[in-house]
Chains A and B, each alone.
Chain A
Amino acid sequence: MKKTVVSMMMAGALVAPVHAATLDDVENSFYPYKNGAKEFSNLKPGMTINQSNVESVKDALDPAMYKFIKNGDYEIRVGETTSFDLHESYVEATRKNLNTTSLGEKSGEINGFVAGRPFPEEPSLDDPRAGEKMAFNFKYGYNWGDTGAVYPFYWKFRDMASGKEERMLKFNFHFLNYKHRVKQAPMPDIEPNPSNLFRGIYVQVLEPFDVKNTQLLIHRYEDDLKRDNAYLYLGFQRRVRRLSSGQTTDAFLGSDLMIEDFEGYNGRISDMKWTYKGTREMLMPYYNHNDEPLDPDTHKDEDGYQVVSFTGKGQCFPNVSWQVRKVYEVESAPVDPNHPLSKRVHFMDAQTFAIPRTNAYDRKGELWKIFTIGQSHPDHHLAANKGSGVSIDDAFSMVDLQANHCTTGQFKGQLDPKLSPEQKFSVQNLRSSGR
Chain B
Amino acid sequence: MTKKITTLNTLAIGVAAGLTLSYGSTVSAGEIEWSGFVENATYFRDKKGLSKFRNTAQAEFSKSIESDSWSNVSINGVLRGSYDGVYDLNSSEFGKDAQQQYLGESWHDNSTVSSSALLTPGTPFPCENDPTICNNLDGYMDQDENDAKFAEFNDRLDFIREFYITADKQLANGDVFNFSFGKQQVVWGKTDLFRVLDVINPVDYSRHNIYDELEDIRIPQWMFTAEWRMGSNEVLDDSNFQLIWNVDKFRPHNMGTCGQSYVMVDAGCFFSAKLAGTIPVIHDVQEPGWDLSNTQFGAKWEGVYGDTTFSVNALHYRQQLPSIHWRGPNPATPAGDGLFDIKFPRVTLLGGSLDYYSMNMDAVWRMEVAYTQGEEQPRDLNGNAETDMLRYVIGFDKNLVIPSLGTSSAFLISTQLFGEHILDHEADMPMDEDNWIATALFKGWYKNNRLSPQVIFAHDFAAKATAIAPSISWTPDNHWMFNAGLNVKFGGDEKFPWSASANVPGNAGVPQYEPLARFLNGPIGVANQEDEIQFTVRYSF
Identify which of B215, B309, B398, B449 contacts A236 (C-beta below 8 A).
Answer: B215
**A428 near B448 (CB under 8 angstroms)?**
no
Check if B233 is an interface residue, CB within 8 A of chain A.
yes
Check if B47 is an interface residue, CB within 8 A of chain A.
no
> What is the minimal beta-carbon distance from B99 to any residue of chain A, in angstroms?
38
**A238 near B185 (CB under 8 angstroms)?**
yes
Q: Hey, which chain B residues are within 8 Å of A251, CB to CB?
A: 407-410, 445, 448-449
A interface bracket (residues with beta carbon within 8 Å of B)? 35 or more
Q: Hey, which chain B residues are within 8 Å of A227, CB to CB?
A: 357, 359, 362
Q: A212-B35, A236-B213 are in contact. Are A245 and B357 (CB under 8 A)?
A: yes
Check if A359 is an interface residue, CB within 8 A of chain B.
no
Q: A209-B541, A247-B362, A405-B448 are in contact. Are A238 and B187 (CB under 8 A)?
A: yes
Q: Hey, which chain B residues are within 8 Å of A423, CB to CB?
A: 176, 229, 231
**A258 near B540 (CB under 8 angstroms)?**
no
Docked Cα-Cα span, A159 to B362, in Å, equals 33
Q: What is the chain A residue whose CB lies nearest that of B358?
A: A244
Docked Cα-Cα span, A209 to B361, in Å, equals 33
- Pair count A-B, CB < 8 A: 152
**A166 near B448 (CB under 8 angstroms)?**
yes
Check if B376 is an interface residue, CB within 8 A of chain A.
no
**A246 near B362 (CB under 8 angstroms)?**
yes
> What is the minimal beta-carbon distance from B319 to any residue of chain A, in angstroms?
23
Partner-contacting stretch, out of B264-272, B454-462, B471-479, B485-493: B471-479
Check if A435 is an interface residue, CB within 8 A of chain B.
yes
Partner-contacting stretch, out of B133-141, B234-242, B510-518: B234-242
Check if A351 is an interface residue, CB within 8 A of chain B.
no
Q: Hey, which chain A residues are within 8 Å of B192, CB to CB?
A: 237
Check if B189 is an interface residue, CB within 8 A of chain A.
yes
**A239 near B189 (CB under 8 angstroms)?**
yes
Docked Cα-Cα span, A428 to B230, in Å, equals 10
**A197 near B237 (CB under 8 angstroms)?**
yes
**B478 near A244 (CB under 8 angstroms)?**
no
> What is the minimal beta-carbon distance from B137 to any residue of chain A, in angstroms?
32
Q: What is the chain A residue whose CB lies nearest that of B302?
A: A428
Interface centre among A243, A247, A254, A427 (most CB of B within 10 A): A254
Identify which of A157, A229, A427, A428 contacts B307 (C-beta below 8 A).
Answer: A229
Q: What is the chain B residue whose CB lies nearest that of A405?
A: B448
Q: Hey, which chain B residues are within 8 Å of A219, CB to CB?
A: 237
Interface centre among B185, B237, B302, B397 (most CB of A within 10 A): B237
> What is the minimal beta-carbon distance from B88 to any residue of chain A, in angstroms?
29
Docked Cα-Cα span, A251 to B449, in Å, equals 9
Q: A166-B448, A245-B362, A435-B162 are in contact. Are A194 and B233 (CB under 8 A)?
A: yes
Check if A4 is an interface residue, CB within 8 A of chain B.
no
Docked Cα-Cα span, A250 to B403, in Å, equals 10
Docked Cα-Cα span, A340 to B448, in Å, equals 17
**B76 near A210 (CB under 8 angstroms)?**
no
Check if A35 is an interface residue, CB within 8 A of chain B.
no
Contact with A along B94-132 (1 / 0, CB 8 A): 000000000000000000000000000000000000000
Check if B21 is an interface residue, CB within 8 A of chain A.
no
Docked Cα-Cα span, A33 to B447, in Å, equals 45
Q: What is the chain A residue whose CB lies nearest that of B237?
A: A195
Check if A48 is an interface residue, CB within 8 A of chain B.
no
**B478 near A167 (CB under 8 angstroms)?**
yes
Within 8 A of A (CB), among B37-80: 37, 76, 78
Identify which of B166, B357, B398 contacts A229 (C-beta below 8 A).
Answer: B357
**B478 near A208 (CB under 8 angstroms)?**
yes
Interface residues of B (CB under 8 A from A): 35-37, 76, 78, 162, 166, 174, 176, 178, 185, 187, 189-190, 192, 198, 213-215, 227, 229, 231-238, 240, 302, 304, 306-307, 309, 355, 357, 359, 361-364, 366, 397-401, 403, 407-410, 445, 447-450, 475-479, 481, 540-541
- Interchain residue pairs with CB less than 8 A apart (12): A208-B540, A210-B540, A212-B35, A237-B192, A239-B198, A241-B190, A242-B357, A244-B364, A251-B408, A254-B445, A432-B229, A435-B76
Interface residues of A (CB under 8 A from B): 157, 166-168, 192-195, 197, 207-210, 212, 219, 226-227, 229, 231, 235-247, 249-251, 253-256, 258, 340, 405, 422-423, 426-428, 432, 435
Known: A192-B232, A258-B408. 8 other contacts (CB 8 A): A166-B477, A197-B237, A209-B36, A227-B362, A247-B400, A405-B448, A426-B238, A432-B227
